[in-house]
C-alpha cells in the first residue's frame, strides 16, 4: 500500500555542494527554525544543513493523517542534494523516532543518526499530560519563556512561542493517539551507526538509561551517552553539547 506524503517546509544553511550534509528533524510541537544555532554553526564549519517542519507543524501542510508512518513517508522524500545520503540525520524527540523508522525503511537515506533524547514511544498513560503541557504553553509569551529559561536567547523564546501556536489540538491528538508510534523495534535492528544523547535520568528523559541499555545490548551499532544536568530540550539549552557531538561524528572536511 502506498502511503500519502506531503512536501515539507524547509530551511537551508551553507553550500548544498558541501560533502558534510546534515538533516535536522524537530520534535512534537516544534519547528525547523528551532535548530538555528546548531545548523548555522554546521554551515560555518563548511557543512550543509537542512531543517524541516514536520507535517502539521510550522509552515508545512496540514493533513487528515498524522501517524508516524505518514511522517516517515514525508521524510523519505527529503534527500540530500543530488540524491546523496545524508552524512548525519539529527532527530529530537518525535523527530528521533521518525528518523529511525525512515532510515530503516529507506536504505541509503542516511549514513548515520544522532538521536537527541528520542521519544521512541510515549506510554499511553503519559499522553494526556503531554497534550495538556503543549496546549498550556500556547498562552505563554516569549518574555515568559525567556524568564523561565535563562540559557535561551530571545530568538529561542520567540521561536518556542511561535511553534506551539502553530500546532492544532487536532494534530496533537492524532499523533498522540497513534498506536504505531513505537520505534524501539526498528532501532534494535537498524544496520547503521546510531548515536543517542539522553537527558539526565533525574530530569524525566524520553530516552531513559534502562531503555538505552536494553537497545544497546541488542544492537551493537547503537551507542548512548547520558548528558548530566540536561533535560529533554538540550538542543536549545546546551546547543554546544549537541554541536560538538555532530562535529565529532561528521567526516573530516
Q: How confident is the model at residue 253 (pLDDT cuts 50, 70, 90)?
A: low
- CATH class for the domain made up of 10-123+179-249: alpha beta
Predicted TM-score of the model (pTM): 0.97
* Mean pLDDT over the full length of the chain: 96
User: Domain boundaries in the chain?
Assistant: 10-123+179-249
**pLDDT digit string, tens, across residues 27-67:** 999 999 999 999 999 999 999 999 999 999 999 999 999 99
* DSSP state string for the chain: -PPP--PPPEEEES-TT-S-EEEEE--TT--GGGGHHHHHHHHHTT-EEEEEPPTTSTTSPP-S---HHHHHHHHHT---GGGPPBSEEEEETHHHHHHHHHHHHSTTSBS-EEEES--S---GGGHHHHHHHHHHHTT--HHHHHHH-TTS-HHHHHHHHHHHHTS-HHHHHHHHT-TT---HHHHHH--S-EEEEEEPTTS--SS-HHHHHHHHHH-TTEEEEEETT--TTHHHH-HHHHHHHHHHHSPP-
Amino acid at each position: 500500500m502506498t502511503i500519502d506524503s506531503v512536501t515539507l517546509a524547509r530551511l537551508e544553511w551553507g553550500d548544498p555542494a558541501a560533502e558534510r550534509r546534515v538533516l535536522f528533524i524537530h520534535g512534537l510541537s516544534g519547528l525547523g527554525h528551532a535548530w538555528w544555532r546548531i545548523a548555522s554553526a554546521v554551515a560555518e564549519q563548511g557543512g550543509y544543513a537542512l531543517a524541516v517542519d514536520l507535517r502539521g507543524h510550522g509552515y508545512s501542510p496540514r493533513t487528515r493523517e498524522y501517524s508516524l508512518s505518514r511522517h516517515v513517508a514525508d521524510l523519505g522524500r527529503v534527500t540530500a542534494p543530488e540524491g546523496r545520503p545524508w552524512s548525519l540525520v539529527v532527530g529530537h524527540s518525535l523527530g528521533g523516532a521518525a528518523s529511525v523508522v525512515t532510515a530503516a525503511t529507506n536504505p541509503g537515506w542516511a549514513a548515520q543518526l544522532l538521536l537527541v533524547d528520542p521519544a521512541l514511544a510515549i506510554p499511553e498513560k503519559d499522553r494526556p499530560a503531554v497534550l495538556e503541557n503543549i496546549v498550556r504553553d500556547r498562552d505563554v509569551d516569549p518574555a515568559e519563556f525567556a524568564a523561565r529559561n535563562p540559557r535561551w536567547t530571545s530568538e529561542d523564546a520567540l521561536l518556542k512561542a511561535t511553534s506551539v501556536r502553530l500546532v492544532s489540538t487536532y494534530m496533537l491528538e492524532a499523533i498522540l493517539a497513534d498506536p504505531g508510534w513505537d520505534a524501539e523495534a526498528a532501532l534494535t535492528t537498524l544496520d547503521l551507526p546510531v548515536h543517542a544523547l539522553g537527558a539526565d535520568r533525574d530530569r524525566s528523559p524520553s530516552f531513559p538509561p534502562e531503555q538505552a541499555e536494553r537497545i544497546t545490548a541488542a544492537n551493537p551499532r547503537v551507542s548512548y551517552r547520558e548528558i548530566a544536568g540536561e533535560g529533554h530540550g538540550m538542543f536549545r539549552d546546551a546547543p554546544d553539547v549537541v554541536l560538538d557531538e555532530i562535529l565529532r561524528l561528521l567526516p573530516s572536511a
